[in-house]
Amino acid sequence: MPVFSVCVYCGSRDGARTTYADSAEALGRGLGAAGWRLVYGAGDVGLMGRVARSAQAAGAETFGVIPQHLVDWEIGKTDLTTYVVTETMHERKKVMLMNSDAVVLLPGGAGSLEEVFEALTWAQLGLHKKPIVILNIDGYWDPLLALLKHVIDQGFADASLRGLWSVAASVEDAMDLLRSAAKAATE
């Protein structure tokens, strides 16, 4: 049976609060402790590097995907279990999502938003049924959650959109949601 794989979208910077970096490291350790594989953007900087190094230290397999034009910018982490270089950002997102069983969104910027919105859109269109966990460290994603509510309230998405993601306030909560998803995947 293939190992349960978790795609993590997150920033290539550490952000303004130490809790963001702490959470990325804790998530990486949690993935390794669970025996799961990390799928992520293959960077070795910011939260991306932290989650990957922590996952590796905890014994997790790591599957990184990076477009050629970002290899130097995000400092491609080549010591991963699997390191894939794509031609485009779109190809990166597709390879990441197709090689995962669940998605976690840590704090991040425009790239993380783009990734999670594509995953949400594909789920809305029925292209996948993978759980999407928004890890809302210190309320970082409160504005995103308010925006998604606004989109639904204003009639630009069906209320069923709300069922396509879960919110976790802590890494422990996110791991609980992922454990449920991993269990359901084996049943």
Q: How confident is the model at residue 186 (pLDDT cuts 50, 70, 90)?
A: confident
DSSP 9-20: E--SS--S-HHH
Q: Is the pLDDT assigned to residue 30 strictly greater than 70? A: yes
- pLDDT for the residue 74: 75
Among 187, 2, 4, 5, CA closest to 96: 5
- Distance (Å, rounded) from C-alpha 2 to C-alpha 89? 26
pLDDT tens-digit map of 140-156: 999 999 999 999 999 99
CA distances from 135 to 81, 87, 100, 108, 110 (A): 25, 29, 17, 11, 16
What CATH number should be reported for the domain holding residue 157?
3.40.50.450
CB 149 within 8 A of CB 134: no
- pLDDT for the residue 1: 57
CB 77 within 8 A of CB 42: yes
Element holding 66 (H helix, E strand): strand 62-67
Q: How confident is the model at residue 121 (pLDDT cuts 50, 70, 90)?
A: very high
**Average pLDDT of 74-94?**
93
Q: How confident is the model at residue 72 (pLDDT cuts 50, 70, 90)?
A: confident
Among 27, 13, 85, CA closest to 56: 27
pTM for this entry: 0.96
Which residues form the domain of 157?
5-186
- pLDDT for the residue 66: 95
- pLDDT for the residue 73: 76
Q: Indicate the number of domains in the chain.
A: 1
